[in-house]
Chain A
Amino acid sequence: MRLTARSVNSGLEWGVAALFMTLLVGLLVRPAAFAESASLASAAVPAHRVAGRSWWRQALELPEEAMDVFAWPLKRGVIWAERVNLPERIFDVLYFNDERTAGWFPNFSFGGEIQSAAGFRLFHDDLWGHAEEISLATLFAIDDLEEERVEFRFFVPSVAGSRAHVLAHVFYSEDNDEDFFVRFRPDGSFGLGAETGEDDDTTFELDLVRSRFEGGFRPNANLDLGLAFQPIFGDVEEGGGAEPPIPRFIDGFGGPTVLLGGGPYFEWDVRDNAVRPRSGWFARADGGAWADVRGETTSGRDYRYARYRIDLRRYQPTFRRDRVIVVRAFLDRVDTFDEGAAPFWDLPRLDEDRALRGFERNRFRDKGALLFNAEYRYPIWDTWDGYLFWDEGQVFRNFSDVDSSRFEWSAGAGILFLSEKKFLMRIQFATSEEDQLFRLDLERSF
């Protein structure tokens, strides 16, 4: 079993850090602050004074008292934190305004694509008083300072009070050991995705800038239509990981590549609640075409490809309103045109990050990805849901390759941790024919 985790704006790490902080504070805080209760707590009560307390009985309590010794600094720390209202002080450091709409948070990531990393996130969620959002998030790998993520987002939900909205999103990443599974055939050609096995792993380095500049319109509360301009920059080098490097003749090498493109999108959301949906439909389709303005494949072809994605979900209450079955169908397809090519690093993928949850990251990659998910969610606490899932998916080169007998499956269970307003974290165990993955994640699978 492998343990993986991925995090942005971590909550769990905050909890762990807070625990250590309180322990530390408990040990260091000035004794005078606890003079009264500390001296009382340490005062011995003569056994003869207490009914039912023989020395035998007291001896049997020793393990419990040893635990109390361990807990003592924690106790002091927690009491100190409450006495001075430590969370309020911390939030006042993290937020820039009383409304708590602007501020910064540390970012951490453990075991994700970028491995152990730290950074920060600057944000304002109400820039001009109408829920305009702007944010800048960074992550820098601790063990490889050349690996990093920078993400900028600017969103105006209502332009001048209209139903129009705009979004600008720029994502930059530098990854030195991204996986690519490829199998070479005896005739020298190669196969991707479904043809590959676990051992067909190669790695590559990728510098990527993916941008999205979107203008949309909401005719009503459930519908969102718009256009997005999505320039992409990619620069690939042979991998720096332990696995063999990716062969250079695969489309995607050839120096720095700039792709321009974009297209329309459509979103229809009639779920009862976006954070913890119990019923309704969600559908999203988007597509576009890309062409290079700089760069070409090793064999000299241009990059010319179209891409479209369809995501359809049904949230169906079962015997109770909050016991919900979610059924999802997802298609991601790239088609080349004008005898062009598509860079391998921008091909559709299925893996643990993309809802085929029992397979390692980047496991399946090809020109098409078809995925079906069935998930049963049920409440286990105020804002926590348990879930069971079954995923079936296949990557493919041509639609004619789609064959239910070649679908890969994964299944598992987990817990979704939510607050009233947002998703916080999930803990998940997934299994497949290849892997068993335990995962802490600060992003939903869908």
Chain B
Amino acid sequence: MSVRAVLLSVFLATVLPGIPAAATSEIASNAADDLPIHEPQADEEGDFLWWDGGRNMTFYQLGKILDLGNSLHAVGEWVGVLGPREAADVNALDEVPNSTWFTNRHHRKRLSPEELARGPNAGPPPSSTGPLTILSGKVLGQTPGFVLKDRDEHRYVLKFDPPEVPEMATGAEIVSSKVLHALGWNVPEYHLFLLDPARLELAEDAWIRDKYRRKRAMTRKDIEAILQRAARLPDGRIRAVASLQIPGTPKGPFRTQGVRPDDLNDTIPHEDRRELRGLRVVAAWINYTDARRGNFYDTFLRDPGDPQGRGHLVHYLLDFSSSLGSGNVEWKDPKDGNEYVVDPPTILRSFVSLGLWVKPWEDPPPVSHPALGYFEAGIFDPERWVTTYPNPLFDQATTRDSFWGSKLVTSFTDDDLRTVVSTGEWSDPAAAEALFEILRARRDRIARTYFHTDRINAADRFTVKGNQLGFENLAVRSGVASIERARYRYRRSGGSWKILARPAVPIGSADGVVELQASHDGGESWSPTTRVTVRVNGKSEFRLVRIDRETHD
């Protein structure tokens, strides 16, 4: 055996065991990750922004090199020996099963306008009458607010808009929470609520943190100071977002790398979860730049009747008041979403280019409406889009993950968009119209980027009718490719390609694999191949058993 062969063997033996299975052989629709476990400890590490941000900008970046498996894999990808590290939690149809992380909703089965508008809100808004008792100040985040309970003993976190930009933060929170819920993630209930300050009472044991973050008794003066930082309506009331307390026992933010040691249901490293990797595209769409560990949340739900008090964790996304164009207490900076807060490669490129490289966001489009903050579609590039600082979950996203995220984004039709935009209850209809236009344009930009035949075959929603394999071309469906110019070609068992103008392929009469490619330019160029495996049963009925998508990263 030659030295080269030995080296290659070592390389493959080293790397291959580390590659997560591209897709499990089962068509699991539910991950069954809610098996009873003992109550885990609270893990508050992610609440600390300085460490999370600092670590992700430094040690995490260095760790990617020091993790030799990762480095070897990167080398393997570079020389073409290995493919990308795909998500480990997808089923044989390249889909994400329902789990404590994610529930397939709108893209799988369309929600009605009422369901879209209702979003996660199963419970009531704060009572419109009776006292509102303040329990504490708001512990985390920049937006002014506090924790209170209404007369029905429901607890809410109340957040307000800054006086300079009324409706911006609250509108962003409401609209983004509806979007994320409709697309499948767990989010808290957010209710738009008009607060009459006269209803506020202070609980005897109400507390707030002082400037040294020590707990102390809360006073009326504290309430006044918080309300001073809130935009008021002409009648003195305050528009607020009331976030209903998430059920269960808080267990801190979930990790952006690895698994939770004391959760036996947590078997897939979070960075290998498609619903977390693919969230990047959705976050890019709604400009959720604050998608960081501190805005993720685990809650422990006790299983009713379990004699040992066991239960399971459910995983949430939180805090969308800095999504869209909102920067919480001011407009977002045009830089947000385009480069990290400290972005060494961008800084280095700027330095080395001697200023000749003009960053696209140096010439930002104008603000479309003051109530929206800085939110634009003109220079939006979903590939370039980043969070405020690196998030390891998004760092791992492959083309297939992004395709999946785009599939979710484009499941929103224009009418769906108008529905969720209206939930922001913008006082100026022009703000709602502007937001609709921006979200629509960003959605289409995402479709153009991730449904492109240079990357992937955008065929999806496969169905079998008789011996016809039907599918939808998501690029055509999204309006970013022309139906007249769309072509499809297929073959079975390495045969010759046959070209079709319509998305329906004759399967034949036996088990097998259909190789399928798409073209958006009348057949001049073709996408990577998607392989669809079909099986026939004893009644000569075909069913889908597996979908494998090739990609060009």
Contact = CB atoms under 8 A, between A and B. Distances in A.
Interface in A244-295: none
A56 B19 CA distance: 11
Contacts of A84: 212-213
Contacts of A40: 41, 43, 45, 260-262
B220 interface: no
Interface in A37-94: 37, 39-41, 43-45, 49-54, 56-57, 60-61, 63-64, 66-68, 71, 75, 78-79, 81-85, 88-89
A203 B354 CA distance: 40
Contacts of A381: 342, 347, 350
A157 to B, nearest CB: 30
A33 to B, nearest CB: 11
A49 B269 CA distance: 10
Given A40-B261, A60-B67, A320-B358, A75 B51 contact: yes
Contact of A64 (B50, B67, B342): B67
Given A52-B19, A56-B13, A61-B69, A41 B45 contact: yes
B212 A89 contact: yes
Interface residues of B, number: 50
A199 B514 CA distance: 82
Contacts of A66: 66
B208 to A, nearest CB: 14
B259 A378 contact: no
B80 interface: no
A323 interface: yes
B48 A78 contact: yes
Given A84-B212, A378-B350, A380-B350, A67 B63 contact: yes
A51 B266 CA distance: 10
Given A52-B88, A54-B17, A388 B354 contact: yes
B497 interface: no
Given A64-B63, A67-B66, A79 B45 contact: yes
Contact of A60 (B14, B41, B260, B272): B14
Nearest to B24: A51
A50 B269 contact: yes
A67 B48 contact: no
Given A36-B42, A39-B41, A60 B213 contact: no
Contact of A51 (B51, B59, B88): B88
Interface string B31-74: 00000000001111100111100110001001100111100100
A384 interface: yes
A94 to B, nearest CB: 15
Contact of A36 (B41, B88, B213): B41
A52 B21 contact: yes
B267 A63 contact: no
Nearest to B261: A43
Contacts of A50: 258-259, 267-269
B539 interface: no
B50 A49 contact: no
Contacts of B21: 51-52
Contacts of B384: none
A379 interface: yes
A384 B19 contact: no
B264 interface: yes
B269 A56 contact: no
A231 interface: no
A71 to B, nearest CB: 5
Contact of B350 (A83, A379, A388): A379
A81 B48 CA distance: 10
B355 interface: yes
B335 interface: yes
A56 to B, nearest CB: 5
A378 B272 CA distance: 40
Interface in B173-192: none
A433 interface: no
A382 interface: yes
Interface centre among A67, A84, A376 (most CB of B within 10 A): A67
A415 interface: yes
B264 A49 contact: yes
Given A36-B42, A64-B63, A45 B17 contact: no
A363 B21 CA distance: 68
Given A45-B259, A68-B59, A36 B354 contact: no
B17 A37 contact: no
A43 B269 CA distance: 15
Contact of B49 (A49, A60, A82): A82
Contacts of A240: none
B351 A386 contact: yes
A39 B44 CA distance: 12
A381 B362 CA distance: 11
B17 A56 contact: yes
A82 B45 CA distance: 11
Interface string B297-309: 0000000000000
Contacts of A376: 354-355
A37 B354 CA distance: 45
Interface string B380-412: 000000000000000000000000000000000
Interface string B340-383: 00100001001100110010001000000000000000000000
Contact of A79 (B48, B67, B268, B342): B48
B292 to A, nearest CB: 14
B261 A44 contact: yes
B351 A60 contact: no
B506 interface: no
B113 interface: no
B212 A79 contact: no
B269 A51 contact: yes
B304 to A, nearest CB: 26
A54 B18 contact: yes
Interface string B84-105: 0000110000000000000000
B66 A57 contact: no
Contact of A83 (B48, B272, B351): B48
B267 A51 contact: yes
B352 to A, nearest CB: 9
B211 interface: yes
Contacts of B41: 36, 39-40
B161 to A, nearest CB: 24
B59 A67 contact: yes
Nearest to A40: B43
Interface string A192-205: 00000000000000
A120 to B, nearest CB: 24
Contacts of B350: 378-381, 386
B258 A45 contact: yes
A37 B44 contact: yes
Contacts of B124: none
A63 B62 CA distance: 10
29 contacts: A36-B41, A36-B43, A40-B45, A40-B262, A44-B261, A50-B268, A50-B269, A54-B18, A57-B18, A63-B66, A63-B67, A64-B66, A64-B67, A67-B63, A68-B59, A71-B59, A78-B54, A81-B50, A82-B48, A82-B51, A83-B213, A84-B213, A85-B211, A85-B212, A88-B212, A378-B354, A379-B350, A386-B354, A415-B351
Rank and list the top 7 A-B pairs by shortest CB-CB distance, nearest first. A378-B355, A52-B20, A43-B261, A54-B17, A60-B69, A57-B18, A380-B350
Interface of B: 13-14, 17-21, 41-45, 48-51, 54-55, 59, 62-63, 66-69, 72, 88-89, 211-213, 258-262, 264, 267-269, 272, 335, 342, 347, 350-351, 354-355, 358, 362
Given A50-B267, A79-B45, 16 more contacts: A45-B258, A45-B261, A49-B264, A50-B259, A52-B18, A52-B20, A53-B18, A53-B269, A56-B13, A57-B17, A61-B68, A64-B67, A81-B50, A85-B211, A380-B351, A386-B350
Interface of A: 36-37, 39-41, 43-45, 49-54, 56-57, 60-61, 63-64, 66-68, 71, 75, 78-79, 81-85, 88-89, 320, 323, 376, 378-382, 384, 386, 388, 415
